[in-house]
Amino acid sequence: MLTAAGHPILQFGTSRFLQAHVDLFVSEAAETGEALGGITVVQSTGNPASTRRTQALARAEGFDVIVRGLVGGQPLESRKTCRAVREAFHAASDWPAVRERVRGPVQVIVSNTGDGGWTLDAGDAAPLLAPDATAPASFPAKLLVLLHGRWQAQPHAGLTLLPCELVSRNGDALRNLVLTLACQWQCAPAFIAWLQTGPVWANSLVDRIVSEALEPVGAVAEPYALWAVETQPRLQLPCRHPAIVITDDLGRHERLKLFLLNLGHTLLAELWMKGHLPADMTVLQAMQAPALRDPLEAAWQQEVLPVFDALGQGDEARSYLVGLRDRLLNPFLAHRLADIAQNHALKKARRLQPVVDLARQHLPGLRQPLLLAALA
């Protein structure tokens, strides 16, 4: 069982994805004594829906995660109760409490702040490190303030940062973003040096389709789940779980998900938007519509798989694609294209453009009309 004496996991974000992924993993691992402890959740935006979730997340009875899908061709549905979240704060109103947590028992900081979550805010241009300062607006600035407090309180205590945002080598990218901000704030050289060598900035990749939110808190997810984390010294995980894979080659996992699943989702959303199709159309319906399925299959086969072949990963990509089709055809998930289409331009840049760039590098003669049209 989870212990009540301090919560070693701090989580930025209240999304349904985190509820069905990190939170559920920790809850399941705690049942066999394989979790570090409880989770403190921090809401970092002013979104009213997020506020309602924050208020409900830490209730004693926990929240439900419904897992629905096909496993080995057979339907599976189970309802799991997640009890890993022990307290929940709103950064704007509870900032002193959040700062105190990171100065003390926190060993792992997890984040999933959305596609625009790492964007800096003009209001964060000045240092906000004073004890009585209000919370910065952006997540990177919040993180910088928290890490500064940790450096002052216990610089030698182990701390691992595990960003789950879908950014290539997300741990390295987040470290560089925070370092840049620390230099802009003219922080102490000793602190800047500690940022580079003190905390473990882990690169990781998450993969699970979480299609629906339950009200006021909870989620509906597919059975498939993966959290691939790149191995490195001093790495501390929030728990041990069958879905957590430690790997020396994170890029291999990243390419499969980004260039097949995520690219597929974004292409379907692009075709849905251009076709002015029904607002409530789901991925399942899109996969059953030749006008959307056929271009997607053509893009996979003619514009993406040749890139995997050139990288020596073709067989693995084709195998992944077989399972992916089953996931996208899951009859139990109502995954709306309108949800996928949020932050569409940014997603196209992250999911489609790298495939085009790799083709130019390795296969300069490869035609990619569908990807280029979507990027135009």
Q: What is the average pLDDT across 279-289?
A: 96
The overall average pLDDT reported for the chain is: 94
4 has pLDDT over 50? no
Tokens of 19: 């509820």
pLDDT band at 44 (very low <50, low <70, confident <90, very high): confident
SS3 246: strand
Give one word for 169, left, alpha or beta, with left for phi > 0 and alpha for psi -120 to 50: left
Q: Which of 69-73, 147-151, 189-193 has the lowest mean pLDDT?
A: 69-73
pLDDT tens sequence across 320-330: 999 999 899 99
Architecture of domain 9-248: 3-Layer(aba) Sandwich (3.40)
Write down the pLDDT at residue 122. 86
Distance CA 155, CA 153 (A): 6
Write down the pLDDT at residue 115. 64
> DSSP alpha helices (H): ranges in the chain?
16-18, 24-30, 48-57, 91-103, 139-153, 170-184, 189-197, 250-256, 263-274, 283-287, 290-298, 305-310, 314-328, 337-340, 344-351, 353-362, 369-375
pLDDT tens sequence across 221-234: 999 999 999 999 99
Give one word for 367, left, alpha or beta, with left for phi > 0 and alpha for psi -120 to 50: beta
Fold of 251-375: N-(1-d-carboxylethyl)-l-norvaline Dehydrogenase; domain 2 (1.10.1040)
Every domain of the chain and the residues it spans: 9-248, 251-375
Q: Which of 3-17, 126-140, 164-178 has the lowest mean pLDDT?
A: 3-17
Give one word for 218, left, alpha or beta, with left for phi > 0 and alpha for psi -120 to 50: left
64 has which bridge partners?
81
Tokens of 367: 């035609």
DSSP conformation letters of 1-27: ---SS---EEEE---HHHIIIIIHHHH
Distance CA 316, CA 326 (A): 16
Write down the pLDDT at residue 5. 46
DSSP conformation letters of 266-320: HHHHHHHHHTT--TT-BHHHHHT-HHHHHHHHHIIIIIIHHHHHHTT-HHHHHHH
Predicted TM-score (pTM) of the model is 0.88
| Residue bearing tokens 């399925």 | 293
Q: What is the average pLDDT across 208-223?
A: 93
Write down the pLDDT at residue 3. 39
Q: What is the average pLDDT across 24-46?
A: 94
Higher pLDDT, 119 or 277: 277
pLDDT band at 1 (very low <50, low <70, confident <90, very high): very low
Q: Are 322 and 363 in contact (CB under 8 A)?
A: no
